[in-house]
Amino acid sequence: MIFEDIDTTIPTLGPLRVPSPIKRGEKGALAFVNDDDKVVMDVNLNNLIQKVKEGRELISFEVAGPREKLYFDPSKLRCGLVTCGGLCPGLNDIIRAIVLELFYGYGVQNIFGIKYGLQGFIPKYRHDIIDLKPETVANIHEMGGSILGSSRGPQSIDEIVDSLERLNIGILFMIGGDGTLMAATKIAEVITERGLKISVIGIPKTIDNDIYLVSRSFGFDTAVDVATQAIRSAHSESSGYPNGIGLIKLMGRHSGFIAATATLAQQDVNFVLIPEVDFDLEGPNGFFAALESRLNLRGHAVIVVAEGAGQKFFENETTEKDESGNIRLKDIGLFLKHTIMSYFHTKGTDISLKYIDPSYMIRSLPANANDNVFCSFLGRDAVHAGMAGKTKLLIGRWNNHFVHIPMSASAGKRKKIDPKGKLWLSVLGATGQGPLKNSD
């Protein structure tokens, strides 16, 4: 990944003059973070030495955490929270962490939840606004989904900012994926154009773990956890029948991180198909031939496919888009199920194929313990950033530190598996699958 062209400057609304009320224990203040505390993006020692020799700047992120002085007066502040896009384990954990830190850490009394995503800002939808208190969020981390609900599709940015003005919101916390972050960027730009003092803080949400410049997104650990159970079940089913095949479709529109990581976590998989790595079905080196060879050798096989893999097989079909403008992917799971069955039928070979798609079950589950802790850090650091008047940023994890990432550096871009990187090479080693590609 090339970092030279990335501007990591974080905008602020103004000077910090309000002392932070954060305390810990009887002996004084929690250790505060300074804006000069940085995390270098590229930790490769040779690269660092070379940059220093050449006098080049070392690109780095601000460390997230509480600041000693604040921009906002907590006693007068009103905050808004909104969750957008698809459901994901950990949404309620993020909401809970933000509310508890605002209320108990800073003494902010006015915290509002915007219902059903960006629709909640638009008057014509007439969605309610929830008054969020500690008692409101006390047990929501035990539930899946989002207590605020969600929605897809673009809404008028001007109407959203109008609503923020009417509500007198000082900090807006937006929890969502790439589309949400792009919307957040536009909202922040209109806020700046109007000369308003509203902070916009993003908490990146994608179960696929494909947010650019974010090493891990919340919900991913839970998704991998449950996906391994699906793999385990598929392996039991396939090995229990002659020529048994277990086929699992997992999330991953553009990036195969869940498929690859779950495969390494539960090493019963023989083939992994992801969007980043092309494959053929027919031909001597294609997937069908490799699958047939596996059945002849061991009598069963387990296949994991990410939902965005193999979309080239649908090139002649009509392209549709969802409410947010994203291309609706064709169902590669069902496609493979039918084509595999057809292939072996023409060969006169009886197979027993079991197809598993746990996607929506995974998306709506509560977060596991690891994600629960991770969400707590993200939510609290989002509050610290907002209280310090920072804006147009998202909270992410980089080189084992929570940091401030400019929205402009991440929005509209996507993180993908490197086919020559350690993750994919480890998958190839664990599965033993070849390239599944005929010579061009």
Active site residues: 208
Beta strand 129-131 with 300-306 is unpaired
Are 415 and 212 contacting, i.e. CB atoms less than 8 angstroms apart? yes
Q: Residue 381 and residue 221: Cα distance in Å, rounded? A: 20
Amino acid identity, position 232: R
With tokens 């480890």, the residue in question is 426
Nearest to 160, CA basis, from 220, 129, 118, 222: 118
Length of the chain equals 440
Q: Between the CA of residue 381 and those of 72, 83, 160, 359, 377, what are the distances in Å?
A: 16, 17, 24, 29, 6
The amino acid at 32: F
Cβ atoms of 384 and 65 closer than 8 Å: yes
Residue 1: how many CB atoms within 10 A of its CB?
9
Q: In which residue are the tokens 């629709």 written?
A: 119
Give how far the C-alpha of residue 76 lies from the chain's centroid of Cα atoms, to the nearest Å: 33
φ, ψ (nearest 5 deg) of residue 179: -60, -40
- Please tell me whether residue 239 adopts helix, strand or coil conformation: helix
Q: What angle do CA 247, 257, 276 make, to 5 degrees?
A: 85
Distance from C-alpha of 204 to C-alpha of 216, rounded to nearest angstrom: 9
Q: Which residues contact 5 (CB under 8 A, 6 or more apart)?
A: none
Going edge to edge, which strands form the sheet with 300-306?
A: 271-273, 300-306, 244-250, 352-356
Distances in Å between the Cα of 89 and the Cα atoms of 165, 217, 383 are 31, 11, 20
Phi, psi of 18 (to 5 degrees): -100, 120
Which helix (H) or strand (E) segment holds residue 267: the answer is none
* C-alpha dihedral, 143 to 148 to 149 to 152, nearest 10°: -140
How many C-beta neighbours within 10 Å does residue 315 have? Answer: 8
Q: How far is it, in rounded angstroms, from Cα 23 to Cα 378? A: 19
